[in-house]
Every structure is written in C-alpha cells, then in structure tokens.
C-alpha cells in the first residue's frame, strides 16, 4: 500500500495551518493536482487557536467607518522592527490584506467583527469559531476540488530537480515514500516546539518560556528549506505573550482560558523581580510582546495581588482589556474560585500569605525589600503618581488588604516567526539572493515581517500573513507552473 495516491503532483504543501490551507485551496482552485501534508492527526496547526487576522481597507472596516492607512502601518511596522522587516513584503501584504479578508469571506469564513487589541489599531478581523472555524471552512472546499490531504504524514526530506522529490513519512507506521512535485510550499509553522532549535536560534531562557501552541512547530519547514540552500534569515524571535503561569500538571494552552492567568500575567498590576523590586511600568502588558521582553530582563518575576484587587476584578471587572478580555471592565467571575483551587492544590506558581513579609519569604525574595516596594507603591497609588516608572494613575491599585497573593510569572509564547528568506512572491531565496525555483515558504516559516519583537499594535498580522502568504505563494506558483 502506498502512502500517497499519486506519484506526481503539481504542488505539495507541507503543513495544514493557515498558510498551508490557503496555499492548498488556492492551488487547487487554479486547477492543480495538490497534495497537502499534515504531520499531526488533525489539521489546522496553531492557526486553530487564533482569534483574528489583520487587514486594512476591508469591507468590515469600511462598514464601520474605520480608516487605517496602509502606508502608516507599513512605516510603523518597519520602524518597530528596526528595519529588519522587509518593507516590500509589508507593502504587498498591506495592499492585499483587504482582498485576503474578502477571499476568505467569499470562501465562507465568517467574520464577526473588527476591533483593536490593547492599545492597537482596529485591524483585527475576528472570525467565528476562532481560526479553527476558518480552517475547517477552507478544507472541505479543497477536498471537494479533488485536493489530497494526508494527516499523520510528515515531509521529512526535500530534494531539488526539475521535479522536486519530497519524502513522506507515515507517522503511524513509520513507512516512508517519495513523491514528485513541480512546486513545494513550506508552511510548517516555525520551530517553537523544537527545544534544540530554540536553544540554537534564540537567546531566550527556555526554562521560563511556555509554548502555547499546537505543539507541532518543530522547525521541519526551515530544515527542509535550509537543506536545499534556502538562506537562513530572521530567526531568533518568538511571539512572546506577556506573563504566563506554568502548571506542570496541565497542558499549557489550558491557562489561556484561566481568569487567574489573565489577572496575574495580563493586567497592569504590581510586578516585582527576584529582589523584590519593581522593574517596569506594568501597563507595558498593553503590548504583550514588549511585556515578554521586560519579563525576560529579570531572573524571576512575581505578580502581587491583594484581596481587594481580586475582589474588584471579580465584581467590577478587569483593569485592561486584552486578548480574550477584549474590553476593559469585563467581570472575572471565576477568578476567586480559580485562585482558591490553585492554593488548595498547592500549585507551584501561587503563594498566599496574610502579610507581605510572609509572602516574600514564601516566594524567596528579600522580605524587607518587598515591604518597602509595596509601601512605596501604595504611596504612588495614594498620590495618583508613579514617580518611578510613570504608570497611569488608573492602574495604581494599592496592595493593602490580606490575604496577599504572589504569582510566579513565566513567559508565554505563541509561535516563532521567520527562518527562510523569501521575496515578495514568497519564493525562497538562496545565500546569493537567487530564487530557488519552485520552492516557496509561507506563514511562520517565512522571514520578513518582524525584527526581534512581534507588533501586536496592529493585531492579527501573524495569522493574517499566514493566510495571505500561503495564497500569495500559490498564485505565484501558478505563473511558475505555466
Ligand atoms: C493561542 C494562539 C492565539 C493566536 N492568536 C492569533 C491571532 O489572533 N492573530 C494572529 O495574527 N496570530 C495569532 N496567533 C499566531 C497564529 O496562529 C500563527 O501565526 C499561524 O497559525 C501561523 O500559521 P502557519 O500556517 O505558519 O502555522 P500553523 O498554523 O502552526 O500550521 C503549521 C502546520 O504544519 C504542520 N507541520 C509541521 N511540520 C510538518 C511536516 N514536516 N510535515 C507536515 N506537516 C507539518 C503542523 O503540524 C501544523 O499543523 C495565535 C497563536 C496561538 C498559539
């Protein structure tokens, strides 16, 4: 029995996330014989968890009278990346973004609204049923057009030639097989789940990095692309997602739904380091990637919540809308129960005490220093001025009612971005800047969108780019195939 139905394809797509599904469907719509490979048992990758995608000038924004300048976005993103992002890639992405939303909508993807996230612009097009809904709208169309999808099947090797040779491995049986393809589109989602690659390609302290993703981004696309001479470019960054609680007994993504996690790691409340000192204006969390950088600057970080702050968030609402909490003031009705359960279960990330001294001792930070920090912070709150870091007075909630809670913050990460140098057609380039004919990279495997820090100020740019670039690669491949 063979793994794939045919020996020869026009297009083989490696990965079935946002980039892979968009590429595969587009290539099938263009009349090609397409094989989409997915190494997991299920399709969708990390895209399944995404909430929405970036666009400017979309029909939804027009309906709402939202006017965001594409050139302003481009300039800001390129500046933000310290000119490591590619302005030409941004230009084409920005200019195609409204059409990208329209295409998805025409294919049946339902967009519920468009909004900002945190401090950002209203560029985030929220799809119904998360990315899962979008992926599972595109996929049946692909299959209906005769596209072939193999799950539990990895691409493990790629060789160049007039026809490329892709070696497949059935993950259930270990069996391998070669197929031929004129075009290969690498869309395997980056390397967040490959510890060895993270250690080599990034400077993050991996003991504190909490990958919150599909778990399948093991860098295969980059390895295949580099293996055929693709230029390594733009590695070194993950999309950091602010403070995150690490529960050794549960899969990391479960904390995404936890109000306790949001209260501890995603609100502009008091944070201290291993020395019991504040180190930043905590409202940096408005940009969760900046917050990740700030947290990484310290050896350890604890978020300190007192009972009155917890009660306030549980009854009157949070301090800052972010991610799942899209609006400021949303009520955290499960917060108190979740905290009580974590304390009862002796979870290693939570500390509870009836005085600040005792809390410090439990956390292992100098008690005198923490007492002084809290006292100074309470003075700032009383005066409505943060003389140290200038945090807005509305976030200066005093720490004064016991019991007190300390939460050890690690750093969440959603994905890596970058690794293969591509041009504006998503063709992979070699070390001399020449195109490797018929080899494309899309989504998180492609470099060009970021410097060392993701820009959530224009929300949705990562998943938006994945859908767009998959489609962009397949459209360019059509010219190549002709
Ligand atoms: C919780 C969460 C929320 C997010 N929210 C947003 C958001 O709202 N907006 C936004 O812009 N971004 C968001 N992101 C990021 C976004 O989801 C990703 O950037 C996007 O999914 C990238 O798409 P991709 O196709 O490159 O990779 P993925 O969607 O991860 O897909 C890659 C696929 O390739 C498969 N694969 C890997 N290796 C192989 C191989 N050798 N052979 C075959 N298949 C292989 C994987 O199993 C996976 O299914 C979020 C991410 C997470 C985790």
Residues 179 and 40 in one domain: yes
Nearest CA residue ID for atom 40, ligand 1: 154
Domain boundary among 408, 426, 449: 408
pLDDT band at 164 (very low <50, low <70, confident <90, very high): very high
Question: Rounded to an integer, what distance in angstroms lies between the CA atom of residue 22 and that of residue 131?
Answer: 12
- pLDDT tens by residue, 276-313: 999 999 999 989 999 999 999 999 999 999 999 999 99
Same domain? For 251 and 203 the reply is: no
With bands split at pLDDT 50, 70 and 90, how would you rate the model's confidence at 444? Answer: very high
Buried b (16+ CB within 10 A) or exposed e, 23-32: bbbbbbbbeb
Q: Do 124 and 78 lie in a common domain?
A: yes
Q: In angstroms, what is the span from residue 175 Cα to ligand 1's centroid?
A: 26
pLDDT category at 1 given cuts 50, 70, 90 is confident
DSSP 319-386: SS-BTTB-STT---TTHHHHHHHHHHTT-TTEEEESSHHHHHHHHTS-HHHHHHHHHHHHHHHHHT--
The tally of domains found in the chain comes to 2
Reported as type and span, the H/E element at residue 120 is none
1 is a domain residue: no
Same domain, 269 and 404: yes
User: Would you say the CB of residue 135 lies under 6 angstroms from ligand 1?
Assistant: no
Is the distance from the beta carbon of residue 216 to the nearest atom of ligand 1 less than 6 Å?
yes
Q: Give residue 465 CA to ligand 1 midpoint distance, Å.
A: 11
Do 152 and 22 share a structural domain?
Answer: yes
What is the position in ligand 1's atom list of the atom closest to the CA of 444? 26
- Cβ neighbors of 465 (< 8 A, separation 6 or more) are 54, 93, 443, 446, 449
Q: Output the CA torsion 241→395→80→289 (10° steps).
A: -10
Q: Which atom of ligand 1 is nearest to 414's Cα?
A: 53
pLDDT value for 384 = 98
Tell me: pLDDT of 115 over 80: yes
407: Cα separation from own chain's centroid: 23
201 in any annotated domain: yes
Distance CA 86, CA 392 (A): 34
The answer to whether the CB of 20 is under 6 A from ligand 1 is yes
Nearest protein Cα to ligand 1, atom 17: 47
Q: Is the pLDDT of residue 323 over 90?
A: no
If you measure from the C-alpha of residue 407 to the centroid of ligand 1, how many angstroms do you get, rounded to a whole number? 29
Residue 2 lies inside a defined structural domain of this protein: no
Distance 45 CA to ligand 1 centre (A): 5
* 138 touches ligand 1 (CB under 6 Å): no
Of the pLDDT bands very low, low, confident and very high (cuts 50, 70, 90), residue 457 is: confident
404 bridge partner residues: 306, 353
Please give the model's pTM, rounded to 2 decimal places: 0.97
**Contact residues for 207 (Cβ-Cβ < 8 A; gap 6+):** none
**Same domain, yes or no, for 447 and 390?**
no
Are residues 50 and 122 part of one domain?
Answer: yes
Residue for token digits 């709208």? Answer: 137
Q: Which of 381, 408, 435 marks a domain boundary?
A: 408
Arithmetic mean of pLDDT over the chain: 96
pLDDT band at 118 (very low <50, low <70, confident <90, very high): low
- Per DSSP, the three-state class of 212 is coil
User: With bands split at pLDDT 50, 70 and 90, how would you rate the model's confidence at 165?
Assistant: very high
Residue of 45, 77, 440 best suited for mutating to test ligand 1, as the one with most atoms within 8 Å of CB? 45
| Longest CA pairwise span in the chain (Å) | 75
> Does residue 321 sit in the same domain as residue 448?
no
From the list 179, 154, 227, 225, the residue with the least C-alpha distance to 11 is: 179
Determine the distance separating the centroid of ligand 1 and the alpha carbon of 205, expressed in angstroms: 22
- Residue 385, pLDDT > 80, answer yes
pLDDT greater than 90 at residue 48: yes
Give the position, in ligand 1's atom list, of the atom nearest the Cα of 445.
26
| Ligand 1 midpoint to CA 92 (Å) | 21
Q: Do 39 and 169 sit in the same domain of this protein?
A: yes
Asked if residue 391 belongs to a domain, the reply is: yes
The answer to whether residues 174 and 318 belong to one domain is no
**Rounded distance from Cα 368 to ligand 1 centre (Å):** 45
Choosing from 390, 408, 426, the residue where a domain stops is 408
Which residue's CA is the nearest one to ligand 1's atom 21? Answer: 47
Q: Closest ligand 1 atom, CA of 461?
A: 11
- Report which protein residue has its CA nearest ligand 1's atom 49: 45
| pLDDT on residue 119 | 60
Instruction: Supply the residue whose CA is at minimum distance from atom 14 of ligand 1.
Output: 50
CATH code for position 171: 3.50.50.60
In 10 A of CB 15, how many CB atoms? 36
Residue 160 to residue 310: CA distance in whole angstroms: 59
Gap from CA of 285 to ligand 1 centroid (Å)? 23
Nearest CA to ligand 1 atom 33: 15
Is any atom of ligand 1 closer than 6 Å to the C-beta of 219?
Answer: no
More confident residue, 13 or 458: 13
Statement: residue 322 has pLDDT above 80: no
For residues 26 and 125, state if they share a domain: yes
Q: For residue 324, what pLDDT band results from cuts at 50, 70 and 90?
A: low
Domain that holds residue 91: 8-238+416-481
Name the DSSP letter for residue 476.
Answer: H
Pocket flag, ligand 1, residue 23 (CB < 6 Å): no
CATH code where residue 269 lies: 3.90.700.10
Q: What is the pLDDT of residues 136-155, one digit of tens each?
A: 999 999 999 999 999 999 99
Say yes or no: 232 and 278 in one domain.
Answer: no
């Amino acid at each position: 029995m063979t793994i794939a139905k045919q020996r020869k394809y026009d297009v083989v797509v490696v990965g079935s996330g946002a980039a892979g599904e968009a590429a595969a469907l587009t290539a099938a719509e263009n009349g090609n014989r397409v094989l989409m490979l997915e190494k997991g048992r299920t399709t969708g990758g990390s895209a399944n968890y995404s909430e929405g995608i970036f666009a400017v000038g979309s029909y939804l924004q027009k309906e709402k009278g939202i006017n965001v300048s594409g050139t302003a976005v481009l300039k800001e993103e390129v500046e933000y990346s310290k000119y490591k992002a590619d302005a030409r890639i941004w230009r084409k992405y920005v200019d195609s973004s409204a059409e990208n939303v329209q295409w998805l909508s025409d294919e049946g993807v339902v967009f519920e609204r468009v909004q900002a996230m945190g401090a950002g612009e209203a560029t985030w097009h929220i799809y119904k049923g998360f990315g899962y809904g979008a992926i599972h709208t595109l996929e049946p169309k692909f299959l209906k057009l005769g596209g072939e999808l193999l799950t539990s099947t990895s691409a493990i090797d790629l060789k160049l030639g007039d026809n490329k040779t892709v070696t497949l491995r059935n993950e259930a049986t270990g069996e391998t097989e070669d197929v031929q393809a004129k075009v290969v589109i690498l869309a395997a989602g980056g390397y967040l789940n490959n510890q060895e690659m993270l250690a080599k390609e990034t400077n993050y302290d991996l003991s504190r990095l909490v990958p919150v993703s599909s778990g399948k981004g093991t860098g295969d696309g980059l390895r295949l692309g580099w293996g055929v001479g693709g230029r390594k470019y733009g590695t070194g960054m993950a999309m950091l997602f602010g403070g995150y609680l690490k529960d050794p007994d549960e899969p990391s993504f479960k904390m995404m739904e936890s109000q306790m996690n949001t209260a501890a790691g995603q609100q502009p409340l008091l944070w201290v380091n291993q020395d019991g000192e504040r180190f930043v204006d905590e409202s940096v969390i408005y940009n969760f990637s900046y917050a990740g950088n700030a947290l990484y600057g310290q050896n350890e970080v604890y978020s300190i919540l007192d009972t009155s702050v917890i009660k306030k968030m549980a009854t009157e609402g949070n301090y800052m809308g972010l991610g799942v909490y899209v609006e400021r003031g949303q009520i955290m009705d499960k917060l108190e129960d979740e905290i009580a359960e974590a304390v009862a279960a002796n979870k290693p990330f939570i500390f509870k005490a009836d005085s600040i001294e005792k809390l410090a001792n439990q956390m292992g930070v100098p008690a005198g220093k923490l007492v002084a920090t809290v006292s100074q912070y309470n003075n700032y709150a009383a005066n409505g001025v943060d003389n140290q870091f200038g945090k807005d007075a509305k976030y200066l909630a005093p720490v004064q009612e016991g019991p007190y809670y300390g939460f050890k913050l690690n750093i969440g990460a959603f994905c890596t971005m970058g690794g293969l140098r591509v041009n504006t057609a998503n063709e992979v380039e070699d070390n001399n800047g020449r195109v490797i004919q018929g080899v494309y990279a899309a989504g998180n495997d492609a470099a060009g969108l970021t410097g060392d820090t993701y820009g959530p100020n224009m929300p949705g740019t990562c998943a938006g780019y994945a859908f767009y670039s998959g489609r962009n690669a397949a459209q360019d491949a059509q010219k190549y195939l002709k």
